[in-house]
Structure formats: C-alpha cells, structure tokens
C-alpha cells in the first residue's frame, strides 16, 4: 500500500493546479502507483490488467526489466546532449530502426511526440511538393498541435480557434458505420455478414469508397496537393479498418495529384498488428513518410519521422530542423532496448497468436449479446462497437458504455474508449499479454455485459 499522498489530497491538487481540460477515466479516477508488464497497481494495492497500455503506449510491458536496465545504464553515462553533437545511442538507434524499414525509407528524424512527428511530416510534404493541401479521413486522429489539428477529425478535439490551414477531410471508408461494405471486406480474422448492398463474393465497397475519395480530390482541393495522411487502422475512432485494397488505390490517386503519402504508425507500428511489423505493410503499400510514437519508447517520450533521402533533402533546402530533446541519449537507449525486446521475446508473433485468439473469443461473445454490434481489428489492436441493437446499429448511449467500462475496472480490467460517439471499446494491451489473461478479460467483459442487461431489464420493468 502506497502511503505518500492521500487520495482526496491528490484530487484537490489536480483540481487546483493541473489542466482542467484533461479528462480522467472513471467516476473515481484511478491513482496508479506501480506497473509490472501487463499489470497496474493503485494506491490501495488493487491490481488491474491493463488492456489499454496508457493509450497504446506500453508496447513491451510496464517497467520491462531489459528496458529498465538500459535506461539505468544510460542514466549513469549521459542524460542529454542535443542533436548538434553525436553520441552512440542515437547512431545505434538510427541504424536499428532504419533496418526495420523498407527502401527507400531510410532517413530518420527523432522528435518527442506523435503530434510533433506529424507536424514535421506535414512540413516535409509541403516542402517537397511545394503544395499546401493535405487530406485525412474523418475520424482520424493525428495530434492536437495547432498544425495537426487540421488533420484530426474528431469533434471532441476540434477548437473554435483557427487551426490547421489547407487541411481537408474525406469520407472514412468505415465498413461498419459507413454506407457500404461489411466485415467480409476487411483484413481481420473476425467476420460477420452485414446487411449491405454488396454480396460477400462481389463486394464493391472498396470501389464505392474510392469514388468518394476521388471526388474529394477532384472537387475540394487545389489542382495539386501536398499529401495524404492515414493511420493503417484508425485508433481513436474505435479501431476502424478500411476495405482491403483501399489504401493502395488511394495512394495511387494521391500520387497522380502530386502528393506524398504518409502512414501514421503511432498506434499500429512495432509489430502490434501481428502479421507485419508496420501497419502499412498489411495494406501492401509503400508510404513516402512514416510517423511513429507511443510504443516506440514503451512510455518514454520519444517519436520519429522516417522518410526517403529525396524528401529529407527537400526539407533541408527549406529549413533548418532543430529539436532540443529529439534523439536524446536516454530516449535512444530506451528505444534500442524496446526493439531488442520485441525481437527477443517474439512479441510480434505473440500479437498475432494472442490477438487472433482474443478476436475469436470476442466474436463468440458478440453473437451472444445484441448490444455488441461489431468486433474487429488485427493482432493486439481490437475494437468492440457497442450498439443499442444489431438491427438498428444506433450507438449505445455514452453513459451506458461508461457504466460497462466502470464495471470492468471494478473487476480488475482496464479498457480504452473510442469512437466519434464514444461508443466503442479499444483493446490494446502490452504486447506480452498471454491467452490466460485474455480468458480473464473476456470473462470480465461478459460479466459486465450481463450486469448491463440486468440493469436494463430492471429499468424497463419500472
Ligand atoms: N497519431 C495517432 C494515430 C495517435 O493516436 C496519436 C495520439 N493519440 C497521435 C498521432 C499524437 O500523439 P501524441 O499524443 O504523442 O502527440
């Protein structure tokens, strides 16, 4: 039991001195003191299975011993020197990361957060093409700096203050909520047939969404554009997958229009999707720029932009890119240890095996409960869409989703929330999670759904 600050005192400090804008999960926010691999411990000593990884950020496990050891070793050597000097951890890390990316994606810019990475990628796209318009999907989250807010199309984060000039949103090819498609046309081990105008063996969803995309390019942006940003699977929007082949066609159209293609791998990278190390590989595309953050440092502030020598040269011609902390020795030593652990512990393979196991178990649950509209995802990036009923597909009201969320927490399971209506659960545990823990999590979720149905029956009786 942690003794230092009383819970109410902590709440008071937060109220008085911390950003009032930041939201906290749960009616009584958790006060966390310790983490070990996929487990978290609160101030009362309660244990929680962390299936949200602090928003997809803990990749190899909380306080992983190998990463801790690397950090401690570097701590005693050299904390910081900015990128105007060379130091071994930065060079070693750059070499290791470059080896994981296909040609010609070999030039690395180290920064500190996903927003910064996407800010820089926007700048690169514009410097390289001499154009300004950039396109992203509705429901996309690419950061909340004034620049990236233009690409983020989730109402919750939008502001009345001017932001993100020359950014244009386009329809998200969401095969569950959108007008076309169904789970039969997305890349996931979990499928279900939806009421849809296309038959599973003659699915036109990809073409129909591509028509919309082409329409945006023809009607809503300048003659030539700077680029297109896409997450290989949308995270904040509730783990949204596009129809197979969509990104490939979209990339071609963007390039025809003079733009570059950017894959935002902030959530999907580093093996989380199981079948591939990078999300873009699962779409069979080669981006011009890749941005990464979160899991790259297993919770340590670190991010990167990787691009081609040609684009890097275009940027260098236009501006001197400087970042005090980017490529910091601590971050690089930690980043190298993370890559080592992913490889040594076969975590990408674990994502594939345990993720598929979980998806199939959740699909059984979906067939049992009418309010579980959809189960989707790949590897250990899983979404559950809660609905009022499978026929109507109306989102389950936020307060009901919150209650299920809260009940899971009370039974020792932490899940993420997502979706434009806050109607989805996001499951993105540390990549080391086991099938046994998945069994526990699915059982907890089932109990929470039963409690929900009982509450609903009681309400209807009154
Ligand atoms: N891109 C994606 C896909 C993200 O999910 C996020 C964070 N939720 C960001 C960018 C921004 O990252 P950061 O919070 O580190 O700025």
pLDDT digit of tens for each residue in the chain (462 aa)? 455 678 889 889 988 999 887 777 898 899 999 999 999 999 889 999 999 998 999 999 999 999 999 999 999 999 999 888 999 999 999 999 999 999 999 999 999 999 999 999 999 999 999 999 999 999 999 999 999 999 999 988 888 888 888 999 999 999 999 999 888 889 999 987 665 666 667 788 999 999 999 999 999 999 999 999 999 999 999 999 999 999 999 999 999 999 999 999 999 999 999 999 999 999 999 999 999 999 999 999 999 999 999 999 999 998 888 899 999 999 999 999 999 999 999 999 999 999 999 999 999 999 999 999 999 999 999 999 999 999 999 999 999 999 999 999 999 999 999 999 999 999 999 999 999 999 999 999 999 999 999 999 998 887
Strand, coil or helix: 417 = strand
- Ligand 1 pocket: which residues have CB below 6 Å? 55, 113-115, 118, 141-143, 231, 235-236, 264, 266-267, 293
For the chain, residues classed under CATH 3.90.1150.10 are: 7-63+346-461
For the chain, residues classed under CATH 3.40.640.10 are: 68-344
Structure confidence at residue 199 (pLDDT): 67
Residue closest via CA to ligand 1's atom 13 equals: 114
Q: In what order do the strands lie in the sheet with 227-230?
A: 107-111, 303-307, 289-292, 260-264, 227-230, 134-137, 167-170
Q: Which CATH number fits domain 68-344: 3.40.50.2300, 3.40.640.10, 3.40.50.720, 3.30.300.30?
A: 3.40.640.10
- Tokens representing 173 are 């090819």
Radius of gyration of the chain (CA): 22
Burial annotation 139-152 (CB, 10 A radius, 16+ → b, else e): bbbbbbbebbbbbb
Peptide bond into 104 cis (omega under 30): yes
- Tokens representing 35 are 């983490």
| C-alpha 196 to ligand 1 mean position (Å) | 33
Alpha carbons 259 and 351: distance in angstroms, whole number: 33
Q: Which CATH number fits domain 7-63+346-461: 3.30.70.2860, 3.90.1150.10, 3.30.70.100, 3.40.50.300?
A: 3.90.1150.10
- Give the closest residue to 340 by CA, choosing from 73, 156, 64: 64
Provide the strand spans (E) within 77-220.
107-111, 134-137, 167-170
Task: Tell how far CA 368 is from the center of its chain.
Answer: 28
What atom of ligand 1 comes closest to residue 303's alpha carbon?
Answer: 15
Q: Kindly indicate whether the ipTM for this predicted assembly is greater than 0.95, answering yes or no.
A: yes
């Amino acid at each position: 039991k942690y003794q230092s600050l009383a819970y109410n005192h902590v709440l008071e400090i937060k109220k008085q001195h911390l950003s009032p804008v930041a939201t906290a999960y749960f009616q009584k926010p958790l006060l966390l003191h310790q983490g070990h691999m996929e487990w978290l411990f609160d101030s009362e000593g309660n244990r929680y299975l962390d299936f949200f990884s602090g928003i997809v950020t803990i990749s190899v496990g909380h306080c992983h011993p190998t990463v801790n050891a690397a950090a401690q070793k570097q701590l005693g050597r050299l904390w910081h020197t900015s990128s105007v000097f060379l130091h071994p951890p930065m060079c070693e890390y750059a070499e290791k990361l470059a080896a994981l990316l296909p040609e010609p994606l070999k030039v690395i810019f180290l920064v500190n957060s996903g927003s910064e990475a996407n800010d820089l990628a926007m700048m690169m796209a514009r410097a390289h093409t001499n154009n300004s318009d950039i396109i992203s999907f509705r429901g996309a989250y690419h950061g909340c700096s004034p620049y990236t807010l233009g690409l983020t199309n989730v109402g919750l984060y939008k502001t009345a203050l001017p932001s993100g000039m020359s950014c244009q949103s386009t329809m998200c090819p969401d095969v569950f909520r959108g007008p076309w498609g169904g789970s039969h046309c997305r890349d996931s081990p979990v499928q279900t047939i939806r009421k849809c105008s296309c038959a599973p063996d003659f699915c036109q969803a990809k073409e129909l969404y591509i028509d919309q995309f082409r329409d945006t390019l023809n009607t809503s942006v300048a003659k030539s554009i700077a680029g297109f940003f896409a997450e290989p699977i949308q995270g904040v929007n509730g783990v949204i997958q596009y129809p197979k082949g969509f990104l490939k066609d979209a990339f071609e159209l963007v390039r025809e229009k003079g733009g570059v293609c950017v894959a935002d791998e902030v959530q999907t990278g580093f093996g989380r999707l199981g079948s591939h190390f990078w999300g873009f590989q699962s779409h069979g595309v080669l981006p011009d720029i890749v941005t990464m953050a979160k899991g790259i440092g297993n919770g340590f502030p670190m991010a990167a932009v990787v691009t081609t020598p040609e684009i890097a040269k275009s940027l260098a011609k236009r501006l001197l890119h400087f970042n005090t902390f980017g490529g910091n020795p601590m971050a690089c030593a930690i980043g190298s240890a993370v890559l080592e652990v992913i490889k040594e512990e076969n975590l990408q393979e674990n994502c594939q095996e345990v993720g598929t196991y979980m998806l199939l178990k959740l699909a059984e649950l979906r067939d049992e409960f009418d309010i579980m509209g959809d189960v989707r995802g790949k590897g250990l990036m899983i979404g559950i869409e809660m609905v009022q009923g499978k026929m109507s597909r109306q989102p389950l009201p936020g307060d009901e989703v919150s209650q299920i969320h809260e009940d899971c927490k009370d039974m020792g399971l932490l899940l993420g929330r997502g979706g434009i209506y806050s109607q989805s659960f996001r499951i993105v545990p540390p990549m080391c999670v086991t099938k046994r823990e998945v069994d526990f999590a699915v059982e907890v979720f089932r109990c929470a759904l039963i409690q929900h149905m009982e509450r609903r029956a009681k309400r209807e009786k009154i």
